[in-house]
Amino acid sequence: MRRKIVAGNWKMNTTLNDGLRLAGEVKEDAEKGLPEGVSLIVAPPFTHLTGIREILADSIGLSAQNCATDDSGAFTGEVSAKMIASTGAEYVIIGHSERRLFFRESDKELNKKVKIALANDLTPIFCCGENLHEREKGIYKEVVRNQIELGFTGLNEDDFRKIIIAYEPVWAIGTGKTATPEQAQDMHSFIRDLVKKLYNSDTASTTSILYGGSCKPSNAREIFENSDVDGGLIGGASLNADDFLAIARSF
Ligand code: 13P
């Protein structure tokens, strides 16, 4: 069985006080109950990790949104996987399209980040997805295949089994335009097949693949119903505890 996960990527939103309040609301609402087998993860900004770890129950996972390619050194402004792990966080988002686009993160760097995260016992939530131009040109599967093959280069099966994948079509992020359930299922099953080719069918069947891109309470159910969709990576809607929990309860 693979895990069902609903993760909230807060991006660069909330002051520390607002973030602590939001985490408290998420915790309180989650305690009212979640569908069986569904886990929650929140990914606040770095500055909030320590404070939020104290607020969240152990049952809610804590994630950073990025990590450095090295453990320590003269890299002004960077935050390492080792530092993230020392806050009590268990996950780190790697390769979000905003990092790839605005911060020019290359596949090679992302591969390094995946490896350093694993070396520090963090679970990478690895993002992939095509932009609108690539979708319209019909090359979206090649784009995602490349991102996955390059992002996981050199990872053995044991390490790969710790990975969570998030398929986030760039054209659906923050645009209000969600992938149709058919488009999501098509890409998720393509990714699972690729994992099967790179590793084996047992590994493929246990890899959680989340969907991200304008996922909200009104459309989560039809997306999560697909056999290869194991949950969501939620942006905007995760900034409201009611909406975030309503999405988690869509399973
Ligand atoms: P939105 O849910 O705001 O479209 O963002 C999705 C996302 O980028 C999550 O990582």
Q: Which member of 98, 105, 130, 168 is catalytic?
A: 168
CA 216 to ligand 1 centroid distance, Å: 10
What local confidence, expressed as pLDDT, does residue 211 receive? 97
What local confidence, expressed as pLDDT, does residue 116 receive? 98
CA 73 to ligand 1 centroid distance, Å: 32
Domain locations along the chain: 4-248
Q: Is 168 a catalytic residue?
A: yes
Residue ranges for the chain with pLDDT beneath 50? none
What local confidence, expressed as pLDDT, does residue 57 receive? 76
- CATH homologous superfamily of 4-248 equals Aldolase class I (3.20.20.70)
What local confidence, expressed as pLDDT, does residue 145 receive? 98
Q: Is 133 a catalytic residue?
A: no
Q: Report the alpha-carbon distance of residue 149 to residue 215 in Å, rounded.
A: 26
Query: What is the model's pTM?
Result: 0.98
Q: Which of 126, 130, 214, 223 to mutate to test the pocket of ligand 1 (most atoms within 8 A of CB)?
A: 214
The finding on whether 236 has its CB within 6 A of some atom of ligand 1 is yes
What local confidence, expressed as pLDDT, does residue 242 receive? 98
What local confidence, expressed as pLDDT, does residue 6 receive? 98
Closest C-alpha to 172, from 126, 221, 207, 219: 219
Q: Ligand 1 atom closest to Cα of 96?
A: 10
Q: Report the alpha-carbon distance of residue 206 to residue 69 in Å, rounded.
A: 27
What local confidence, expressed as pLDDT, does residue 80 receive? 98
What local confidence, expressed as pLDDT, does residue 177 receive? 85
Cβ count near 31 (within 10 Å)? 11
